[in-house]
Structure formats: C-alpha cells, structure tokens
Structure 1
C-alpha cells in the first residue's frame, strides 16, 4: 500500500484565492512512496523505465505577487517494470528550499516582483531569484537532473529514491538554462546559459561520463531571454530572439520582457564541439519560441521544428487586475503558438519558414531515440483558454500531414506526455505516451498510459495516485537501461 513518508510544513494562507495556488494548481506538501496502486485496465508488460515530471509547489506564503514558476520544485516519478508500477514524489531540496525551511518563511520575491523585496536579495539565479529547480527534468549519466526557468545550478537526484544529491558539479558560474538536451545516441548533454554581461551567452557539452568537455562563448548584441535549444548530429542550434529584457530598466533591477517586432529572429548554428568563429548565423521572421522540437540535416539544409508564437506580447487578460499580464503570458491562447518549421540552407545562407498546423499547440514531445535525425511523429498538447493547463494531446504524422487527437476530459488536466518506446519495438510510434492527470471532478490524480499508435482509443491503463498533485511544467521518459538505480518492483 502507498506510504506517506513526509509532510512539509507550509505557511501558505489556507484562504488564498490566487489562481495558480488553488484548483488544479493547488500545491501539495506530502511526499509518498506508492506500490500496489489501484489500476484501471492493465499495465503493459513491455513498458520498462520511468516517467518523471517536475512541478511547482510553493511551500511558503509568497513575498508579494506569486508567479507559478516561483514554486519549489517537486519531482513525481512512476516507474514501470514487468507489468507493475511504483510511484514516488519528493521535493528538490535546493539551497533556497533548505534556507526557507530553516527560516520558516519565504526569503525571495519571485518573477512578478522587484528583487529588492527579497529578504536575501542578490543570492539566487537571474535577477536574484530563488533557484527552485522546478522547470524541466532529464536523465543523464544515469541520474535525474532538474533545472530552473531561468539559469539555475542544476540539481541531481537519485532515480530510484528521488533523494536530492546536490548541485551539479560541472555547472558554470552563469548556470544552465531550463532546457539542456540529452543526445541518447552519444550519451552527451548539450546546454547553454545566458547573462546580463558580455558575451551574454555560453554553450557547452557534457560527456556521458558527466564531465564538462566543451564550453565556449556565443557573443550576442546584449542581454537576451532564450529558453530552449535543439541539435542535429553535427550542429547545435541556439537563438537570439527579439523578446528580451528592456535594457534601460535593468540598471534599476526591473526585469521587464519586451517584444521588438522590428528586429529579426536570429539562429546560431555551431558545430557540436565548435568555436565562436565557426558559428553560422541565420535570420528569420521576428517571433518568440518557448520550445523547440527536433532538428536534423537534409542535404544542404538544417531543418528545425518548434512552436512559433503569433503574439509574443499579448495584452493583459481582463478581470485579473494586477495579475492580468502574468495570466496572459501563461495563456497559450493569448500567445497563439503554432507548430512551425524553419529550413536553414548552409550553402546559400537563406532561411525558409512556415506553419505546419494552424491550431494552438505547445509542449511537444517525440521519440528521443531519433533526436537529431529526421523524425516522423510529434505529440503536442492542447491548452485550456485563459489558463496554463493541458487538456489533451495531438499526434502529427509529419510525413503525411495527418493528425489525431485525444481529449483528457472535462476538468481533467494532463502533463507533458513523452514517448516511451515499447520493449522490442522498432517503429517510431511503437510505444506509449505517459502522463499524469489532475482530475478536479474526482479530486484525485492518476497516471495514464496511451498507445502511441492509436491515441484516440484513450488510455490502455490508469494508475491512481495516493494524492492529488499540482499541475506543472515539463516531464521526460527514461528507459530502464539508462538508469543508474531503480526502485524495487512492486508486488
């Protein structure tokens, strides 16, 4: 039976009405070990590995206006082996988490406030923020790595116990961005960071032995806000997009993101172990892209897929007062991201670009075994208008243009759903999509497993969790062979 391991004391007011501290975003403070869980359907015996999801769970009453990306990181894991599943969740015990636990209160103001309101200003990530390590999660060199929305330190966790092992030792002084990339073919981890001082960006490669192998500057014209990157077999793709902090406000400690529609988007293609003088720069339509999908090489071209935002600077959502702008930047239906493709011609220097779908889609996944080479299938999420909540999945066949959809259901909100290959499977979509669901109607959470070949058939199984978990941001899948340690099988 599931075991409640720990309940972290919280100072959040029980009567809070903040839209991202209530409802599907209500934080959880309990840490569980869960075996012998209730299963609706049958867990596939050819599913072997772990599904990991990062979530934001603020422990303390915030200083000023709370932004959901400020919340303390909590990793949820569902491990699968031999037709059984084991659930576990743990807070990422960052330096900030431990300092606030000792103080018994929040010490840092968040993204929506001036850093001078912090009780410990100047200690943390970009802009003096607390590094809560609550954004992404990947598996590299056998262990779990959690990251922060801006440039954090990166925290390692044991994949079996989710015990926090500490700050990643190779991380440079400027930290690492939210989205380092793991090349499963080579075992390398590719990353970048950004700062408010020249050269404003760096790029690096960490080997499968978890040692830093390569680290070089990527000179930019000024401070920027890149969020993600992509790679091919030979190139790493970084970006300089025209949405970034207003430079004249930075000396006053004000981090206000502005869109500059008169500036082009720029893409830096650098050989994986390349030097700054080997960068190939390409220009494209002004836009912002939060997340990229895959990239690959085809003849003279490098092809990149991602989600083009049609309105990177939406007006505030009405009815939310001071929170209106924050709510708009969390609402995909305000920013209107669309599945999109860029083609960079290495011979001519020309960029060709255009949409692949006219629907509002984001937070996509694909089979990570083909990262860096041409892929056929992509799995994007749909969102609830006005909210940062995932309502379903759309599968695209990029070769034929066909697509299929799965809605989670009324009041049911999912998470990023990575592809988990079927043991022994060969086809690119021969496997499963795994997601956690927060069900507001039933006041519970569950893990769903969906056949990637037929998502419209719905889940092949639903595994009920011992508590209702908060909505969150990113997730990943790691096959059992990639893990340094694994929980004991249930049953």
Structure 2
C-alpha cells in the first residue's frame, strides 16, 4: 500500500496508561497519513460508489485536567474517498483553538466533562458548561461544499476541505456566527434545500436558540427558544416545513449547578416535550407536544404525513443507569455510555398538528443506536434506518442493523470478536432510485490483530457481510459519528489534477 506520513502529534498521555477509553480499541492515534491507493483485502470496490466517507474521532493528545471522559478527546477526521473503483485515505487532526493552545503549553489547560469547569487553567473555554475545551470531536457534516466538525456541548464549527482535509478555519457566517452560544453537537444539513439547521443551549435564559444557515453560508434565521430551565438537548430533526427541538426530563441538577457543578438527573415525573416550529418560524410559533418521559440521544428522521409529523429516534428505557455502590470511577463512567445500560430502542412518535395529541410506537425490540438513513430522504418519508449495535457494558459498537420500518424486518451483521465499528453511513449509488440502492460504509478497529479496515456493505443485503474490505495504514481509535458526501457535492471532485493527486494516479 502506497502511503506517506504527513504529520505527527506529541502525546503527553502516560506511558503506562490504563484508562479504558485511552487504551484497547480507544488507543489514540498520533500520526496523520496520506494513502492514495488503499490495499484491497477482499472483494471489489463498486464503480458506482462515488464520494467520501468522513468520520470524526475523540482522539486525545493530552489527558485533560482531572478525570478523563472519552468526549474530551481531540478531534481527528478520517476520510475514505471512492471513485472509479479505487479508494484513498487521509486523516487529520482538527486544528481547534484548544488543541493549538495545549500544543503551545505542552500540557492540558482545561478540565474535561467529568470535572468541574473551575479546575481549568484557562477561563476562555467553550461549551454549554463554560470553561471547557471545545474539542470539536463529536460530529461531522458537509455543508456548502465544506466539511464541518462540531462539539458535544456547543462550540465553534471548524471547517475542512472535504477532499484534502485542509484546515479552513472556523465558521464565520459572514460575521453572524453566534459566538456567545455556539452550535451544539448535531447541526442538520438538508440535502434537498442546501440549508443547515442548528440549535444551541446553555445555562442562562432563554436556554436555547434555533437557527438556519443558507447554502451560501449566511445566517438567515436565529430565534430564542424559551425553556423552563437549563436543559441537555443533544440532537434535533426536521421535516420539509418544520424544525423539531426537544426538552427532555434528563437535565442538570439545578442545586448542583448553582454550586458550579454539573450532574445530569432524570426526572421521571416530568413529560418529554417535543417542540415543533416552522423552519423560519418566530419564537412564539413553537408548539410543544408532551410524550412519555425518556431521553433521546439521536433522532433518525422525521417527515410529514397529513396532519401528523412522524418522528423516529431512540427511546431510552433507562436514561439514568445506576452503578453499584462499590463501582469504580470507570464503571460509573461507562453506565452512561453503553447502549445496554441505557436500553436504547428505535421508537416512533406521531405528533398530530391538528389535535395536539401524541401517539407512540416501539419499532424494534433490538438494542441499537447511532441511526443513519439515505440522506436524500432526510425530512421526507423514509423506510430504512441503519444503526449500530453496542458491546455490553462499554462504549463500543460491535455490529450494524438495518431496520425496515414498514415491515418490521431487521437484518443484522455482527463484527468478529474484538472488532468494533463506527456509525455506518449510507452512500446512494450513482443514479440510484430505490431507497436502499447503495452502500453502507464503516471503519473498524481490530484490537486482536492491531489493524483497521474500511468495510463496504450492499445496503440492500446487509446480512451477506462486507462486499469489500480495505486496509487502513494503521489501527485507528474507536469513534462514532460519520457522514457521506457524494462526489457531485464536493468542489474540485472531477478536476483532473486534484483527483490525480488525491488518488495517486
């Protein structure tokens, strides 16, 4: 395999590290690579697979002050590009302000999610919690031809070229970026309109804002969303005409918050509230629908069906798992990270815009999470959801499942023992018409064999396993969120000199 080292980070993690989210499948990667022609281990790369798979990664260079949480890791984006039956790979750290400052200092400057922000050595932190490092290591999307990374508890959006991963600085939105509040983990890009919808949240009233960025990177809509108090929303959804926000009964304990601490508590006596607002609606136009108490980390999709909005996501039967009294810190940490502890099930809410009533339906009895769909169906009626299954007791993804929400049929594929995957993106094949005419792509970390691969599945036939396997230059750290961008939506994708360099031709 032709490959080149283009950069290395200097890690200050301890040589005898035993943290479960910095070792094993979570062992950090410090090398940046260019591999213009990936080694094909098995199968063939489909010639109608055209575009890039991007995955963000919590990949620590420094351990953070105090207790380390996996979400504290520095962002690293992995890219696998496909064109004409060939594939190339590159990975780069996201050059956040926090990463640059800690590189200059040579040590950690901020406390992590599991600590009080007051332990940070710097006061100029980011996030809904304040005084924490904006690692930008949560999600990655492509908007207006640019790859954008985001942070778990609000922050800046960092921009990269989706073909070369060249650093393009922070999102500015022609001077209108909400620098005081930032953007939360999961901005949503509507492939049909080119718009990006987002929200943010914090500890001061009105506690949430909602906004829209147009295809020219202009902030064209931004309104307050009043909540009863500080909340912990993580994701949002949308339809052709509405944005969908939320107020779940899992949120910061306000007594602890007043003392400068942050601890999430579940309040089962309170309902789930789902907010529906016109995509360019005013603050007073939001309508709140009440449903069974739970927490939803990730939504799959939403669409309009007559008088109703159909909303699919992952209902948690146990939003606040309890650890044994004698549990270690690591065991207490993992209880909020493993899918089997939280008991996450694909679920459907129907919000009746005429009557205000809500009906609910469990769509699967299989624990899974991290849903993806064919992006062309986002905000429109969909049939298939592709999700990940989780290894028991830890934050690792051990397989994938395809849900047919019309028939209830499920197809599952489990990775080999000791192999863990990423959020699986759906890549429609060039010229496809059917919803599942395309490919599923994920990156795996094989601890036992000390290697990583890119796997390609036929989206219409998941159970047969990968139709192609590609070897990456080295074993990468476990990670979660990903996206797919078609070549047609990437600047310079078909420019000969750019693709010659990218593919090593």
TM-score in terms of structure 1 length: 0.98
Mapped to 1, the partners of 2:327 and 2:80 lie a distance apart of: 36
Aligned match for 2:237, one of 226, 230, 233: 230
- Give a deviation string over 1:201-253, Cα, whole Å, max 9, x none: 00000001111110001111111000000000011000000011111221221
Q: Among residues 144, 156, 173, which one is paired with 1:141 in the alignment? A: 144
Q: 1:311 to 1:82 in 2, by over 3 A?
A: same
Per mean C-alpha deviation after superposition, the further-off stretch among 388-397 and 318-327 is: 318-327
Deviation at 1:354, TM superposition (A): 2.0
Q: Which residue of 2 aligns with 1:4?
A: 5
1:364 to 349, 352, 371: 371
| Structure 2 CA distance for aligned equivalents of residues 294 and 265 of structure 1 | 18
Task: Check the 8 A contact 1:16/1:22 in 2, yes or no.
Answer: yes
> Equivalents in 2 of 1:141, 1:490: separation in Å?
26
* CA deviation vs aligned residue, 1:297-326 (integer Å, no higher than 9, x gap): 111100100000000000126875123321
Question: How far off is 1:123 after superposition?
Answer: 2.1
Distance 1:61 1:328 in 2: 21
Contact kept? 2:126, 2:154, Cα under 8 Å: no
Paired residues of 1:159 and 1:485 also in contact (CA < 8 A): no
Residue pair 1:52, 1:75 contacting (<8 A) in 2 also: yes
Residue 84 of structure 1 contacts residue 490 of structure 1 at CA under 8 Å; is this kept in 2?
A: no
Q: Distance in 2 between matches of 1:439 and 1:416?
A: 16
Residues 178-197 of structure 1: pairs in structure 2 closer than 5 A: 178-197=185-204
Q: Any stretches of 5+ residues in structure 1 without a counterpart?
A: none
TM-score relative to the length of structure 2: 0.96
Aligned 1:281-360 pairs, distance under 5 A: 281-316=288-323, 320-360=327-367
Give, in whole Å, the separation in 1 of the partners of 2:477 and 2:468. 21
What is the total number of aligned residue pairs between the two structures?
491
Q: Which residue of 2 aligns with 1:59?
A: 61
Distance in structure 2 (CA, Å) of the matches to 1:25 and 1:347: 48
CA distance in 2, matches of 1:317, 1:101: 38
Query: Deviation per CA, 1:66-93, whole angstroms, max 9, x where unpaired?
Result: 0000000000000111111110000000
TM-superposed deviation, 1:15 = 0.5
C-alpha separation between the residues in 1 aligned to 2:200 and 2:120?
A: 24
Q: Which residue of 2 aligns with 1:119?
A: 121
Secondary structure of 2:467's counterpart equals strand
- Please state how far the C-alpha of 1:107 moved relative to its aligned partner: 0.4
- Cα distance in 2, alignment partners of residues 35 and 123 from structure 1: 37
Determine if contact 2:389/2:398 at 8 Å carries over to the other structure: yes
**Larger mean Cα displacement after TM superposition, 341-350 or 38-47:** 38-47
Deviation at 1:167, TM superposition (A): 1.3
Shift of residue 122 of structure 1?
4.6
| Alignment-derived partner of residue 503 in structure 2 | 489
CA contact (8 A) 1:317 1:328 kept: no
Give the C-alpha shift of residue 126 in structure 1. 2.3
Runs (4 or more) in structure 1 with deviation over 4 Å come to: 317-320
In structure 2, C-alpha distance between the alignment counterparts of 1:63 and 1:276, rounded to whole Å: 39
Match of 1:432 in 2: 439
Between stretches 295-304 and 121-130, larger displacement belongs to 121-130
Separation of aligned partners in 2, 1:490 and 1:258: 52
**1:98 Cα deviation after fit:** 0.1
Deviations 1:121-153 (A, max 9, x none): 352222211000000000000000000001111
